[in-house]
Amino acid sequence: MQGKLLAKVNRLIFTILYGKLKIGEVFKAISLKIRKTLVNNSKIRMNQEKFAVALSEKNQDEAIKEVSLKIKTIFPKDINFLIILFTPGYNPANIIRSSNLTLKPKKLLGLQAPSLIFGGRIIQKGLIACCVNKENVSSKEVILKKANSQEIETLLRFSFQRTHKENMFLLSLLNPSLSPSSYLNAFRLSLGSAFAQLGVGYKNQYSQHTYQILDKTISEDSVSIIIEGIRLRSLKLGGYIPLGKPFTITKVVPDRSIIREINDRPAINIYRHYLEEKYPLFMKNRLFSMYPLGINSEGKLKLVTVTDCLGDGSLVCVGDIKENDWGHLMLLDSSFEFENLVHKLQGLGNVENSLIFVVNSLSRKKILKNTSGNELLTLQKTLGENAKIIGLYSDYCLAPHEEKGFINMEAGDVLITLWQ
Is pLDDT larger for residue 40 or for residue 150?
150
| Segment 92-97 mean pLDDT | 93
Phi, psi of 351 (to 5 degrees): -95, 0
pLDDT at 11: 59
pLDDT at 37: 47
Same domain, 26 and 161: no
pLDDT at 4: 54
Encode pLDDT of 45-63 as tens digits.
445 688 999 999 998 889 9
Residue 365 pLDDT greater than 60, yes or no: yes
Domain boundary among 293, 312, 332: 332
The number of folded domains in the chain is 3
Same domain, 233 and 244: no
Is pLDDT larger for residue 28 or for residue 204?
204
Same domain, 146 and 117: yes
Same domain, 192 and 73: yes
Domain boundary among 332, 354, 386: 332
Residue 117 pLDDT greater than 80, yes or no: yes
What's the CA gap between 75 and 49, in Å, rounded? 9
Encode pLDDT of 276-334 as tens digits.
888 998 888 888 888 889 988 777 778 888 888 999 999 988 877 889 999 999 988 87
Is pLDDT larger for residue 358 or for residue 371?
358
Same domain, 231 and 263: no
Same domain, 174 and 308: no
Residue 402 pLDDT greater than 60, yes or no: no
Other Cβ atoms within 10 Å of 254 Cβ, number:
13
Reduced to 3 states, what is the DSSP secondary structure of residue 166?
coil
The strands making up 407-410's β-sheet, listed across from edge to edge, are 138-144, 222-228, 168-174, 196-201, 396-400, 407-410
| Segment 129-148 mean pLDDT | 83
Same domain, 116 and 169: yes
Reduced to 3 states, what is the DSSP secondary structure of residue 175?
coil
Same domain, 233 and 325: no
Q: Are 382 and 345 in contact (CB under 8 A)?
A: yes
Residue 404 pLDDT greater than 50, yes or no: no
Domain boundary among 48, 64, 81: 48
Rounded CA Rg of the chain: 25
Same domain, 70 and 147: yes
Encode pLDDT of 176-223 as tens digits.
888 877 787 788 777 765 567 888 999 888 888 889 999 999 999 999
pLDDT at 82: 93
pLDDT at 48: 65
Q: Which is nearest to 82 in space by CA: 91, 163, 70?
A: 70
Same domain, 373 and 305: no
On average, the pLDDT of the chain sits at 82
Which range of residues forms the domain containing residue 232? Answer: 51-237+336-419
Same domain, 203 and 155: yes
Q: Quick one: DSSP state of residue 120?
A: T
| Segment 13-26 mean pLDDT | 51
Least reliable range by pLDDT among 136-140, 299-303, 393-397, 413-417: 299-303
pLDDT at 289: 81
| Segment 150-175 mean pLDDT | 78
Structure-derived torsion over alpha carbons of residues 383, 385, 388, 393, reported in degrees to the nearest 10: 80
Is pLDDT larger for residue 351 or for residue 195?
351
Same domain, 210 and 127: yes
